[in-house]
């Protein structure tokens, strides 16, 4: 029987853990400790007086698979169904994705025809990469970089152009150092199972138990590609905050955990700037590196594993221009590292979610993502907002023809915001899990540092962790 459960870290992972803990009758008290003055972590939205919405963190959530459906269940539980803004698979913002290569935008093929022909920037039809996968032998290594895997199975051109760009878009990371096994476990499994990735994916499918609800059926029938919410994704973290407050979770903002001590009766003494709290169980929902600095010396080997988990810094520059000015219609474009190391890509927000555009007059909203795994090698320790704004507006002008002065610009430097699962990441997580088990630590680790960086992954893993604690 758990008595007092403390959740350290009030991002989407910590909030989700509180949501499930608050519903469990066997917990008598739940306390959420958040270092900053707000909840939500990287889920952060600016709402302007004229109705425009600017996302500084996540902007779209996928409904597909067990993890996507699990999030939709929580959305229903929070009564947010009417606030959902779906993007349908038939819309350009779902169908059209671009790469910026050799100083030009290239649409990625979205039909069979596009795969059969040679289209720039590629030198041969993309289906030939698939043929290569069908005959390539199964890999033998425990883990390898995403670039090595894709080169081995589909060829170097696909790895250099498409996969390099994709990893910059999803992880703000370098596919030459990121782990295939930890970043794309379904590709790793597909090859293990069927030797060919294509055959493995075609015959595998998502075998995890799939939740069902009216909202999930609606998303499937209407063929949603992704969704956001009225008021932006911060609406989700705000609804979670309201829900857990209502359920009696004690929320402490401006309360950074400063260190953790174990008591002789196997509980935690959680040190805060103004005192301490005793907890029967702790959910660590802070980044792995932060946790490594809080744990007691007795957790030595685990501290060493946690401290090896690094994250990349991303500058997020939101720009708004007068009028509808984009030259193409789609989700956005990515830029491979050989084209420009620092510029990761540009998201065309006003096309995916026009409901978030300002009222009164037409506008174009875009977000320029800068830095990631290349942040330090490009800028050193820090960079001025003026320089970031200059880079972002230059990119908008050169790559999209948006030459005027933006009507709005919001610059955020998100320091160490996206965990980088490097080759061998699975060994770190396995060894941490076995340390917790061997030492019977009353500790659950959740958050983007371990098993998936997407909002869906964070929500799914937080729920699974609460269920595991209660033996469900
Ligand atoms: P965090 O959000 O990092 O929360 C951790 C919390 O712990 C923070 O609130 C922090 O203040 C607090 N904390 C830190 N130290 C302490 C301490 N000592 N004591 C107490 N509290 C502490 N995902 C998608 O699915 N779709 C997207 O479109 C998408 N886009 C993204 C764009 C960007 C720019 C970023 C940064 C991420 C994006 N992601 C996206 C990923 C996703 O948003 C994040 O992985 C997720 O929000 C992480 O949530 P978390 O709760 O695990 O961690």
Task: Name the band, by pLDDT with cuts 50, 70 and 90, for residue 111.
Answer: confident
User: What is the domain extent for residue 333?
Assistant: 47-61+310-419
Q: Is the CB of 455 under 6 A from ligand 1?
A: yes
Q: Which residues contact 64 (CB under 8 A, 6 or more apart)?
A: none
Q: Is the CB of 372 under 6 A from ligand 1?
A: no
Residue 274 lies in a domain: yes
Instruction: Please tell me the distance from the alpha carbon of residue 303 to that of residue 294, in angstroms, as a whole number.
Output: 9
Best mutation site among 8, 9, 16, 31 for ligand 1 pocket (most ligand atoms within 8 Å of CB): 9
Q: Are residues 41 and 51 in the same domain?
A: no
Q: Is the CB of 216 under 6 A from ligand 1?
A: no
**pLDDT number for residue 1:** 54
Q: Are residues 408 and 330 in the same domain?
A: yes
Instruction: Please tell me the distance from the alpha carbon of residue 282 to that of residue 442, in angstroms, as a whole number.
Output: 6
> What spatial distance separates the first Cα and last Cα of the chain, rounded to whole Å?
14
More confident residue, 401 or 381: 401
pLDDT tens for 143-187 read 999 999 999 999 999 999 999 999 999 999 999 999 999 999 999
Instruction: For residue 352, give both structure tokens.
Output: 């995916």
Where residue 354 sits, what CATH number does that domain have? Answer: 3.90.660.20
Instruction: Please tell me the distance from the alpha carbon of residue 350 to that of residue 329, in angstroms, as a whole number.
Output: 10
40 Ramachandran zone, left/alpha/beta (phi>0; psi -120 to 50)? left
CB 179 within 8 A of CB 143: yes
Where residue 135 sits, what CATH number does that domain have? Answer: 1.10.3110.10
Q: Are residues 463 and 315 in the same domain?
A: no
pLDDT tens for 295-332 read 999 999 999 999 999 999 999 999 999 999 999 999 99
Residue 66 lies in a domain: no
On average, the pLDDT of the chain sits at 96
Residue 364 lies in a domain: yes
Atom 53 (ligand 1) nearest CA:
11
Q: Are residues 384 and 435 in the same domain?
A: no
Q: Are residues 150 and 118 in the same domain?
A: yes
**pLDDT number for residue 471:** 82
pLDDT tens for 361-376 read 999 999 999 999 999 9
Residue 11 lies in a domain: yes
CB 14 within 8 A of CB 251: no
Q: Are residues 319 and 410 in the same domain?
A: yes
**pLDDT number for residue 206:** 73
Q: Could you give the number of structural domains in the chain?
A: 3
Task: Name the band, by pLDDT with cuts 50, 70 and 90, for residue 209.
Answer: confident
Q: Is the CB of 453 under 6 A from ligand 1?
A: yes
Closest to 451 (Cα-Cα) out of 309, 345, 297: 309
CA of 39, closest atom in ligand 1: 9
Instruction: Please tell me the distance from the alpha carbon of residue 142 to that of residue 37, in angstroms, as a whole number.
Output: 43
Give the pLDDT mean for 439-452. Answer: 98
CB 280 within 8 A of CB 56: no
Q: DSSP assignment, residue 81?
A: G
Give the pLDDT mean for 346-352. Answer: 98
Q: Is the CB of 9 under 6 A from ligand 1?
A: yes
Beta strand segments in 280-407, E = 281-284, 311-322, 332-334, 343-347, 363-372
Q: Are residues 406 and 430 in the same domain?
A: no
Q: Are residues 294 and 250 in the same domain?
A: yes
Would the pLDDT of 472 be above 70?
A: no
DSSP line for 82-124:
GGEEEEETTSHHHH-EEEEETTEEEEPP-SHHHHHS--TT-SS
Q: Are residues 319 and 369 in the same domain?
A: yes
Q: Are residues 254 and 316 in the same domain?
A: no
Q: Are residues 29 and 128 in the same domain?
A: no
Task: Name the band, by pLDDT with cuts 50, 70 and 90, for residue 69.
Answer: very high
Q: Are residues 127 and 159 in the same domain?
A: yes
Residue 71 lies in a domain: no
Where residue 241 sits, what CATH number does that domain have? Answer: 3.50.50.60
Residue 31 lies in a domain: yes
Instruction: For residue 354, give both structure tokens.
Output: 């026009």
Would the pLDDT of 2 be above 90?
A: no
Instruction: Please tell me the distance from the alpha carbon of residue 377 to that of residue 386, in angstroms, as a whole number.
Output: 19
Give the pLDDT mean for 407-413. Answer: 98
Residue 461 lies in a domain: yes
Residue 84 lies in a domain: no
Atom 45 (ligand 1) nearest CA:
453
Alpha-carbon radius of gyration of the chain:
23
Give the pLDDT mean for 240-255. Answer: 98
For residue 470, whether the previous peptide bond is cis, meaning omega lies within 30 degrees of 0, is no
């Amino acid at each position: 029987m758990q008595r007092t459960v403390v959740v350290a870290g009030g991002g989407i992972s910590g909030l989700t853990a509180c949501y499930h803990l608050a519903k469990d009758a066997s917990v008598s008290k739940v306390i959420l400790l958040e270092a900053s003055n707000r909840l939500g972590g990287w889920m952060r939205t600016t709402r302007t007086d004229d109705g425009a919405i600017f996302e500084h963190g996540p902007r779209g959530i996928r409904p597909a698979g067990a993890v996507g459906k699990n999030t939709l269940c929580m959305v229903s539980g929070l009564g947010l169904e009417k606030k959902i803004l779906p993007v349908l698979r038939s819309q350009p913002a779902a169908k059209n994705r671009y790469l910026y290569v050799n100083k030009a935008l290239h649409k990625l093929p979205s039909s069979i025809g596009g795969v059969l022909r040679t289209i720039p920037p590629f030198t041969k039809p993309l289906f030939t990469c698939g043929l290569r996968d069908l005959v390539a032998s199964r890999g033998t290594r425990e883990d390898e970089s995403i670039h090595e895997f894709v080169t081995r199975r589909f060829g170097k051109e696909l790895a250099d152009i498409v996969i390099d760009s994709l990893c910059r878009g999803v992880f703000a990371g370098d596919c030459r150092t990121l782990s295939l096994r930890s970043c794309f476990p379904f590709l790793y499994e597909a090859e293990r199972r069927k030797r060919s990735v294509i055959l493995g994916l075609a015959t595998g499918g998502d075998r995890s138990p799939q939740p069902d609800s009216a909202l999930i059926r609606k998303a499937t029938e209407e063929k949603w590609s992704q969704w956001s919410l009225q008021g932006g994704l911060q609406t989700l973290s705000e609804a979670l905050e309201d829900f857990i407050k209502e359920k009696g979770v004690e929320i402490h903002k401006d309360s950074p955990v400063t260190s953790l001590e174990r008591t002789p009766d196997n509980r935690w003494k959680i040190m805060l700037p103004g005192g301490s709290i005793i907890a029967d169980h702790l959910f660590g929902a802070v980044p792995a590196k932060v946790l490594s600095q809080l744990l007691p010396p007795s957790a030595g080997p685990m501290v060493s594993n946690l401290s090896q988990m690094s994250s990349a810094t991303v500058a997020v520059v939101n720009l708004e221009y007068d009028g509808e000015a984009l030259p193409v219609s789609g989700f956005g474009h990515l830029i491979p590292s050989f084209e420009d190391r620092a510029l990761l890509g540009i998201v065309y927000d006003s096309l995916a979610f026009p409901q978030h555009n300002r009222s009164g007059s037409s506008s174009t909203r875009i977000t320029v993502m800068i830095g990631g795994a290349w942040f330090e090698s490009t800028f050193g320790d820090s960079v001025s907002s003026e320089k970031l704004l200059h880079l972002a507006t230059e990119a908008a002008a050169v790559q999209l023809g948006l030459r005027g002065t933006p009507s709005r610009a919001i610059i955020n430097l998100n320091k160490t915001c996206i965990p980088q699962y490097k080759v061998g990441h699975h060994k770190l997580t396995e060894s941490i899990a076995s340390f917790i088990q061997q030492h019977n630590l009353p500790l659950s680790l959740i958050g983007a540092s371990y098993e998936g960086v997407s909002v869906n992954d964070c929500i799914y893993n937080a729920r699974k962790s609460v269920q595991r604690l209660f033996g469900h």
